[in-house]
Amino acid sequence: MQARFVIPMFLILAAGQATACSHIVQTQVSFEVGSAELDRSQIVKLSQWLNRSYASFSTYKSMSIETGASGRIPGKAKALAERRAIHTRRALGILLRTDLPAEVHSLAYRFPKSRSGENNDFASIQLYISPEELDKLPKCHPAAASKPEASSRPPQELTRADRSPTSSMTSLPHRP
């Protein structure tokens, strides 16, 4: 009886260890309530974030854009969030070194602030680091982690580069 549970559990754990390593680099910009346009300061912020991102990892495989908009009428808030996604995607298309495929999610919120006080009028952008760059990170290859010479450079965990609450640059483990 125990073997029926132990073997499947072992297979689940082994599969978890075999999952590909992935990291994301992300930032967030806030919008004024009712606005869908990126202003000059937001574009400068995105440009600076991308410059820091490219300094850490030279290639990315894809990106995701999640936008939110608050409003009492869900349909109007969702439409505003979708316009924010379009404008954010357009700006990134100009600022990125190469065109990346993008997954886009637009969300409607009833209130401008979440229960935890976070702004619900935002665009959050994540860049997914290319497999070639990930191969250079020892954490992505358990065997390489025990052999420092197997990696051409030390692991790079990005930390908050901009201390403002609306922007961060982090490298987070992500399981695709």
Is 100 within a domain?
yes
Count how many domains the chain has.
1
User: Residue 166 in contact with residue 29, Cβ under 8 Å?
Assistant: yes
Is 89 within a domain?
yes
The residue ranges of DSSP E strands in 22-79, in sequence order, are: 23-30, 60-70
Is 6 within a domain?
no
* 144 burial type by CB count under 10 A (0-12 exposed, 13-18 middle, 19+ buried): middle
Is 14 within a domain?
no
Is 13 within a domain?
no
User: Residue 132 in contact with residue 125, Cβ under 8 Å?
Assistant: no
**Residue 107 Ramachandran class (φ > 0 left, ψ -120 to 50 alpha, else beta):** beta
Identify the weakest region by mean pLDDT among 10-19, 32-41, 98-107, 110-119.
Answer: 10-19
Is 113 within a domain?
yes
Domain extent at residue 113 = 21-173
Question: In this predicted model, what pLDDT tens digit does every residue of 99-122 receive, in sequence order?
Answer: 999 999 999 999 999 999 999 999
pTM for the complete prediction?
A: 0.68
**Is a pLDDT exceeding 90 seen at residue 28?**
yes
Is 160 within a domain?
yes
**Is a pLDDT exceeding 50 seen at residue 176?**
no
Is 5 within a domain?
no
What's phi and psi for 71, nearest 5 deg? 175, 155
Question: In this predicted model, what pLDDT tens digit does every residue of 128-165 receive, in sequence order?
Answer: 999 888 887 776 655 444 444 433 333 333 333 332 33
Looking up residue 64, the CATH number of its domain turns out to be 3.30.1330.60
Q: How many Å apart are CA 32 and CA 47, to the nearest integer? A: 20
Percentage of the chain modeled with pLDDT above 90: 59
